[in-house]
Amino acid sequence: MSRPLPSHGLLDRVFRILFPGVMFLLLNGCASVSYYSQLASGQLQLLRAREPVTKVIADPSHDASLRAHLTQSQKARAFASEQLHLPDNQSYRLYADIGRPYVVWNVFATPEFSLTPQNHCFPIAGCVAYRGYYSQSAARGAAAIQRLQGMDVAIGGVEAYSTLGWFNDPILNSMMGWGDERLATLIFHELAHQRFYVKDDTEFNESFATFVEQQGTRQWRAFRGLPPDTDVRLKQRDQFIELVLETRSRLEKLYARSLPAEQMRERKAAAFEQFRRAYRLMRDSQWAGDKRYDAWVNMPLNNARLLPFGLYDQWVPAFAALFRQVGGDWVRFYAEVERLGELPLAERKVALRILADTNS
């Protein structure tokens, strides 16, 4: 049951006392004033746009399908805290219409002959493999500058993100194109980030949240008396990701060689064409010609476009094994996840590999 909102936490305690991390970076010259200013103003716009989901549902002037979708979302939100032991706060009990299809646009960049991302470090999230912009034109401008410097660049629109518990995150209009279950999975995923997050380890954080999302969805379906999801589209997604990861592996081996730049470019282009041929063969022979990934595959490919793949599921088998070890007890599971997160990075990866091997 939702609790009353004190002015959305007094605008989340006056923007968490004027977003101190941003101010710190601005004053210390760690990045451009314009970039961090747009982060602060974009987040403030989002906070101001929020209103209680219960208010939107009760208002007949809102679209009926929106109200029905939000009604279902609140059942999943309650399940997240009551059954999955995820944070019980006002996140995803608020709604915000920000008037655009994406909340931010992320810019990824790598060197021409490397799959190592250009990392950016922030006071809350730590170091991540992208920069986010609340304006698509700003993202395009930043990408253009990177290209002029010889980098491989990609831009990706993001429908939602987590502030890791700093603020009460709302359900956004950019999330409303999804079905009820997909919206529920996102709520589970983002609340998992609030539950636990390790700075500077994207693979750990995203794999943990993805496992919570997947296991949570299985339990959410069972709770509603639905059978396990056997959607063929999920299997196709996994096959597609595997194909992308194989291409990444092939490119990593290529970039480790000492070859002249022109020869490296030719072989890089050949690797991407090999990927396209393999995809089309799989699509036509195994998917009955389903073309849902055609647009992505047919766009110009580069290293940066491959970066997001693998980040979200690399350690999912390890977390699945850990969940089984604790007998499916969420409280014990989170305690063990926290223990892993406290290990030094190298030790953490070893522990995760051992867990993943027990799951194979």
Same domain, 81 and 179: yes
* Separation in Å, CA 255 to CA 154, 258, 261, 307: 19, 8, 10, 15
Is 223 in a helix, a strand, or coil? helix
Average pLDDT over residues 146-158: 96
Same domain, 291 and 261: yes
Q: How buried is 51 (Cβ within 10 angstroms: 0-12 exposed, 13-18 middle, 19+ buried)?
A: middle
* Chain center to CA of 80: 18
pLDDT: which is higher, 359 or 28:
359
User: Domain for residue 143, yes or no?
Assistant: no
Asked whether residue 29 carries a pLDDT value surpassing 50, the answer given is no
Q: Rounded distance, CA 185 to CA 84, Å?
A: 12
pLDDT of residue 16: 46
Which amino acid belongs to residue 82? E
Average pLDDT over residues 14-25: 44
Beta strands 171-172 and 152-158 are unpaired
Asked whether residue 4 carries a pLDDT value surpassing 50, the answer given is no
pLDDT band at 18 (very low <50, low <70, confident <90, very high): very low
Rounded to the nearest 5 degrees, what angle is found at the Cα of 239, between the Cα atoms of 103 and 281? 115
DSSP 16: H
Domain that holds residue 94: 7-103+159-195
Give the count of beta carbons closer than 10 Å to the beta carbon of residue 234.
Answer: 11
Same domain, 296 and 272: yes
Same domain, 188 and 222: no
- Tens-place pLDDT, residues 168-188: 999 999 998 888 999 999 999
- Tens-place pLDDT, residues 308-339: 887 778 899 999 999 999 999 999 999 999 99
Asked whether residue 17 carries a pLDDT value surpassing 90, the answer given is no
pLDDT of residue 360: 65
Q: How buried is 220 (Cβ within 10 angstroms: 0-12 exposed, 13-18 middle, 19+ buried)?
A: buried
Number of domains in the chain: 3
DSSP readout, 174-188? GGTTS-HHHHHHHHH
Which residue from 225, 208, 222 is spatially nearest to 336, judged by alpha carbons? Answer: 208
Which residues neighbour 308 within 8 Å (Cβ) at sequence distance 6 or greater?
A: 108, 156
Asked whether residue 64 carries a pLDDT value surpassing 60, the answer given is yes
User: Domain for residue 141, yes or no?
Assistant: no
Same domain, 257 and 238: yes
Give the count of beta carbons closer than 10 Å to the beta carbon of residue 172.
Answer: 22
Q: Rounded distance, CA 23 to CA 13, Å?
A: 16
Q: Rounded distance, CA 11 to CA 339, Å?
A: 33
pLDDT: which is higher, 36 or 317:
317
Same domain, 81 and 214: no
- pTM, entire model: 0.84
User: Domain for residue 25, yes or no?
Assistant: yes
Same domain, 216 and 356: yes
Q: Are 250 and 271 in contact (CB under 8 A)?
A: yes
